[in-house]
Amino acid sequence: MKTLFAIAAMALTVVATHAQTYPNARTVTIVVPFAAGGPTDRVARDLAEALAKPLGTNIVVDNVAGAGSSIGTAKVARATPDGYTLLLNHIGMSTMPALYRKLPFNVETDFEYLGMINEVPMTLIGKPQLPANNFQELQTWIGQNKGKINLGNAGLGAASQLCGLLFQSAMKVEMTPVPYKGTAPAIADLMGGQIDLLCDQTTNTTGQITAKTVKAYAVTTSKRLTTPALKGLPTLAESGLKDFEVTIWHGLYAPKGTPPEVTKKINEALKAALKDPAFIKREEDLGAVVMADKRVEPADHKKFVAAEIAKWGPIIKAAGAYAD
């Protein structure tokens, strides 16, 4: 019995010491559940740079893409809960529970919430060959091409899929979804003319819109954006799609069971990173708004995700989009 207690005490000391010294010069991996070069990846790589200093260690980004972010998210749910494997994901955390009949993780119980990072508008963009030069002309073109239009997305659970779903329902047209492992490959195909339309975060589209390598039709937020490259774009709501609004948000997560001392250190480092002027400027230039309200706190982050699950579930169910 005594030996058992001694072993248990030793184990506790090991965990406590580990938590005190975390990250102990070991590299932390942030899993991004979408392809490299896309908007989620962009946020993760910018954040990794800003977070490395306050966290006091190197951070690498690992792209584990596929199935609208559910593959990478599942990988982190199963990872050792020691603070060295984290997940950065977006609104998909709140839409996946309604989009998938079976998920290999529970968004609300399999993760420690570490705080939210930013909010990002989306834009509706088209291939450069489209004859439409504004949203009204696009509506006409869509009306003339019913049944022939391809709409790219990053899989069920992706922001692009959610936005596309809402767009089709608001327009009362069905388009053929073309899924990719992320919107980096989707936007490449859009520029090449292989797909017609894409809804994607400004963190991925601002450069292409500025370079005019894609056609930009509207933003998905309720108000026009102030970012210089995007401020001329109308909102979908003012263009006739009443109440249309999609804003994407990103948060940071650790596997359930990560010691509280470790999650506290990560949250403190995250809050410092979110105040880094270089990070803020980089995000603002791409139309994103760095989180500055109480949702940087884990409890408020978790409350917000629960509210988003309650908000999107009925909308997705009504749209009838599921995967097994």
Where does this chain bind ligand ASP (CB under 6 A)? 34-35, 38-40, 90, 154, 158-160, 182-184, 201
- Shortest CB 213 distance to ligand ASP, Å: 17
Given the complex with ligand ASP, which of 82 and 119 has the nearer CB atom? 119
- Coil, strand or helix at 200: strand
Spatial CA neighbour of 153 closest among 99, 108, 83, 117: 99
Please give the C-alpha separations between residue 20 and each of 9, 80, 134, 252, 264, in angstroms, as whole numbers: 16, 17, 57, 21, 11
d(Cα 174, Cα 4) in Å, to the nearest integer? 64
Q: ∠ CA(87), CA(58), CA(55), 5° rounding?
A: 75
Given the complex with ligand ASP, which of 39 and 259 has the nearer CB atom? 39
Given the complex with ligand ASP, which of 201 and 267 has the nearer CB atom? 201
Q: What is Dmax (Cα atoms) for the chain?
A: 81
Burial class (CB in 10 A: 0-12, 13-18, 19+), 228: exposed
Given the complex with ligand ASP, which of 35 and 77 has the nearer CB atom? 35
Given the complex with ligand ASP, which of 158 and 305 has the nearer CB atom? 158
- Shortest CB 63 distance to ligand ASP, Å: 9
DSSP H/E element including 273: helix 260-273
Q: 117: which 2 tokens?
A: 């990072």
- Shortest CB 247 distance to ligand ASP, Å: 13
Phi, psi of 228 (to 5 degrees): -50, -45
Given the complex with ligand ASP, which of 225 and 288 has the nearer CB atom? 288
- Shortest CB 155 distance to ligand ASP, Å: 8
- Shortest CB 299 distance to ligand ASP, Å: 26
Given the complex with ligand ASP, which of 65 and 273 has the nearer CB atom? 65
d(Cα 298, Cα 270) in Å, to the nearest integer? 11
- Shortest CB 192 distance to ligand ASP, Å: 17
Spatial CA neighbour of 274 closest among 127, 154, 117, 71: 117
Given the complex with ligand ASP, which of 184 and 219 has the nearer CB atom? 184
- Shortest CB 143 distance to ligand ASP, Å: 26
d(Cα 212, Cα 7) in Å, to the nearest integer? 65
Spatial CA neighbour of 229 closest among 280, 284, 184: 284
Spatial CA neighbour of 279 closest among 182, 184, 203, 200: 203
- Shortest CB 119 distance to ligand ASP, Å: 13
